[in-house]
Homo-oligomer: A and B are copies of this chain.
Amino acid sequence: MSSTFTGLSLRLSIFGQSHSEAIGMTLDGLPAGIAVDTEKLQAFLNRRAPGRNSWSTPRREEDRPEFLSGLKDGKTCGAPITAIIRNTNTRSKDYSQLKVLPRPGHADYTAEVKFNGCQDFAGGGHFSGRLTAPMCIAGGILLQELERRGITVDARIKAIAGITDLSAFTESVKDKPFPVSDDEKGRLMQQAIEQAREEGDSVGGIVECRITGVKAGIGSPIFDGLENQIARIVFAVPAVKGIEFGAGFTSAAMRGSENNDAFCLREGKIETETNHAGGILGGISDGMPILFRAAFKPTPSIAKAQKSVNLNTMQQEELTVTGRHDPCIVPRAVPVMEAAAAIAIFDMIQGEPTWN
């Protein structure tokens, strides 16, 4: 088992449980001299933080990272960067029932089996969505450097509860309170979330991510292609159940003559007329925006009564999850997808063979 990402040039270790002393990350492999703007990073982390909106859990917790190492005078010093976030209200509640009566859709049962009854169930333990905060610290640092190098990463809500934003993804919407391109659709999505919340239920959705400024030639065929690496990191985010690049599953229903992106010249530069490939051919960037979408299942924590099995008595039982939970984690997943994309892209660009 491993919560350590071994990339082409980066190593990222994510640690902590929802209610342990702290959660955090170590990012190893950054060159020295990269500036880290902690205020900008905080603004990025705030986009992921809970409790900002009616549709997210009202629990308000300051996700302010404390840097333990790796920085000097606001720049990387070449040593691994470690940052932690203290968990403030831990151990407040009794989670022992989860050990006995696993919640459907959660990792309670699989964790119980894998960890032989030693799992830290409190708040979801190491499986908690809270562990995306350290991923956002790493990604937030890398996003700053990518931006300096002309690479932008933007995600948006593509769909929630089956309501899909069909508008083109040409402009960044990440600074909107509800990051969709089509605000009308956004309102419908918010209504769907609100309705699910009122009914003690939850909804899923799709996040779309776009990376621009990556020159052609980054990546590889077979195992270390852009798709492999991005997918590997995106699936580290809880609740993700699918990923597609460019036209993705839609391309499976297309003809080759429709799906192939014709090469063309734009201002003397080779581009493609369409971008069904999502900027990737043979695992390698073609210079067009890299596009992917991740499918998020609905939050498994719902107020409605559900069926489970008592692991002690081995009898069917009814379970009601108490506490307040996000009826939809998709809006908060938008910066997480940007972080995941940043980690994958930075790692691959930096990992290209060099001779100096």
A308 within 8 Å of B (CB atoms):
yes
User: Do A105 and B261 touch (CB < 8 A)?
Assistant: yes
Q: Could you say which of A223, A238, A285, A297 has the most chain B C-beta atoms within 10 Å of its C-beta?
A: A223
15 residue pairs of the A-B complex, CB under 8 angstroms, read: A1-B29, A6-B6, A14-B222, A20-B69, A29-B353, A77-B126, A105-B260, A111-B282, A127-B282, A243-B243, A247-B297, A256-B299, A256-B300, A256-B301, A264-B316
Chain A interface size, under 10 / 10 to 19 / 20 to 34 / 35 or more: 35 or more
A63 within 8 Å of B (CB atoms):
no
In the complex, A352→B119 CA distance in Å?
17
A169 within 8 Å of B (CB atoms):
no
A196 within 8 Å of B (CB atoms):
yes
Contact A69/B216 with A241-B248, A281-B105, A307-B262 known, Cβ cut-off 8 Å:
no
A306 within 8 Å of B (CB atoms):
yes
Among the stretches A44-52, A78-86, A171-179, the one at the interface with B is: A78-86
User: Do B4 and A28 touch (CB < 8 A)?
Assistant: yes
A339 within 8 Å of B (CB atoms):
no
A58 within 8 Å of B (CB atoms):
no
In the complex, A1→B226 CA distance in Å?
11
Question: Which B residues touch A301, using CB under 8 A?
Answer: 256
User: Do A4 and B80 touch (CB < 8 A)?
Assistant: yes
Q: What's the minimum C-beta distance from A217 to chain B, rounded to whole angstroms?
A: 4
Contact with B along A220-235 (1 / 0, CB 8 A): 1111110111011101
Q: What's the minimum C-beta distance from A224 to chain B, rounded to whole angstroms?
A: 4
Contact A225/B216 with A111-B282, A356-B354 known, Cβ cut-off 8 Å:
no
